[in-house]
Amino acid sequence: MAKTEADLGEGAQALFCFIADTLGSKKTNQEFKHYLSKVKTAPEFFDTHERLIDRAFSSNAVKTKLPKEKLVKYIAENNDWFLSSLTTAQTIINEIDDISSNFSHIKSPGWQDLFYRHGDDEVMGVMGDLYKSANAQSAKQDGQEFFGNINKWTPADIYFASDNARTFFRKLSLEEQTQKNNLTFAVLNQHIADMISSGDLLPLSLKKVVKDIIIKKVNFSRSDEEKLLASTVCTGVQKWDPMKGTFKYNAKNKKFSLSNYSGGRDIYITLKSGNAKGRIQIRHTPAGKGRPSKGVKVILSYVGSSASGGQLVGIPLLSKIINQVDPTFATKLLSSFQRSYPEFENAANRYLESGGKVLYGSDKGTKEKKQYSADMGALSGLIVMNDMRKLIDDYFKSPKEKQHNVVRAIFAYTASRTINSSPFVISKD
């Protein structure tokens, strides 16, 4: 999902949660059902609640990265996001006291003692500063930062925060120990857990939902997380077909040819975690902005869910995580990519010089643009992924405890369930 679309959807969710808070659970259920059953439309919703929406932003109760007008226009024109926002807000207002009994008061109409934030400086910005301090502290202890980015510490897209929470975390960010990067994840995460328990803070990770939604607490209990990780096992590798085809470069006339290719470049490691089945997808992203790319995405997904369970980017990071369990395999995986990528980069540049740039410059969705994407994907499959896929297949196809532990390590990091990850709540289908 594009970043702008995500910001619009997540910002809208903050607004819809404010509306549900203002209406209270009873009125929310009464009013939202007409829109969820499609008896009424999104434009009617925004007309009915125009004054309430204006008040949300003018009172500073809702603050988002993108302006109100853009959010309203986007959600009004995208019914899937409209229905997802309604469903999520309704479920949260109905079930929020299951997260902490101290949230029960917002079920009453007009409570509004919380601020709803997405991409703001007061809450999300401060949380970002606190994360940077704790991540820098982890480097002092272990020689390298624990997390590659903030989303692996917490995937929270929006925050509900009381004035008490805003004040507390702002003061924490200004303390000398924080400024000197001596704040630990253990201390920071405990503060967040305490604020959740007191009903002052709710970090919420959002997924666009298309069916029944569940609200799930994550990292609230380390023992529960360890039980889940213990139940997580590798179940093998999905059958894959090697990428086939030929390519060559004629230096004399500077012509690059690529022909007769077929097959795939993704590999899927299958797993089971608790009662859920899932898989880890590994895919080289061959190009970015018309140039060869080193990007490799590792994506966790669950059977029956429309949303990703989390991801990480880059073979170096993946190897770092695997190295905790199996240094030998981590080295082999990294070496495979380091050996094949220069060959891919050279072939991709030859392809671009021989006409690929022209195809790339075509309008999105055209036959030429699709051809460019297919060609770069084929080169990636032939040069990079075939060797990597065989290596991964050989390693995971008959899993034993070492393979289970590798999958657990990848799962914990991508799903933000490591020992240093923050408590948060996720809404998903």
Residue range 357-385, pLDDT digits in tens: 999 999 989 999 999 999 999 999 999 99
Confidence of residue 422 (pLDDT cuts 50, 70, 90): very high
Q: What is the per-residue pLDDT for 111?
A: 54
Long-range contacts of 350-358 (CB under 8 A, 24+ apart): 350/249, 350/256, 351/247, 351/256, 351/258, 351/375, 351/376, 351/379, 352/290, 352/291, 353/254, 353/256, 354/249, 354/254, 354/255, 354/256, 355/256, 356/256, 357/290
Instruction: Give me the pLDDT at residue 52, please.
Output: 94
Check residue 112 and give its pLDDT.
57
Rounded Cα distance between 54 and 62, Å, is 10
Give the pLDDT band of residue 142 (cuts 50, 70, 90).
confident
Rounded to two decimals, what is the model's pTM?
A: 0.90
Helix (H/G/I), strand (E/B), else coil: 379: helix
Residue 306: pLDDT band (50, 70, 90) is low
Looking at residues 401-425, what average pLDDT do you find? 97
For residues 170 and 213, the model is more confident at 170
What values do phi and psi take at 260, rounded to 5?
A: 55, 40
Give the contacts of 26 (CB within 8 A, at least 6 positions apart): 109
Residue 256: phi and psi, rounded to 5, are -110, 130
The mean pLDDT value for 123-146 works out to 93
Task: Identify the pLDDT of residue 325.
Answer: 96
The arithmetic mean of pLDDT across residues 132-138, rounded, is: 96
The token pair at 91 is 């479920």
Rounded to the nearest integer, the mean pLDDT of the chain is 92
Tens-digit pLDDT profile for residues 266-298: 999 999 999 899 999 999 999 999 999 999 999
The closest alpha carbon to 132, from 141, 116, 145, 118, belongs to 145
Determine the pLDDT at residue 2. Answer: 60
pLDDT tens for 16-37 read 999 998 999 999 999 999 999 9
